[in-house]
Amino acid sequence: MLHYCYRKCCSVVTKNAVREITENAAFLFTVYKRIESFRLNMGYWLKSVKDRGWVRSASMGTRNFTPVG
């Protein structure tokens, strides 16, 4: 009887744990996708800014600043 009870309890706990892990994984994946898209957008924005030559002075130091365009 005790063994059966233990097994049943264990299986319930395992099911709950698996469900929680799955939900957390889905949530973390969503967050990761959001961060990734934000990072890509930032990279794109920074690249366009760099192409215009605005960031050059900040990234290289003012001594080799050459305005572009």
Query: What's the predicted TM-score (pTM) here?
Result: 0.43
Q: Where are the domains of the chain?
A: 1-28
Give the whole-number percent of the chain exceeding pLDDT 70.
64
Show Cβ contacts of residue 59 under 8 Å, excluding neighbours closer than 6 positions.
50
Give the whole-number percent of the chain exceeding pLDDT 90.
10
Q: For 27-55, how does the pLDDT look when each residue is reduced to its tens digit (9 = 90+)?
A: 999 999 998 899 888 888 888 777 766 55
pLDDT of residue 33: 92
Would you say residue 25 has pLDDT above 60? yes
d(CA 28, CA 32): 6
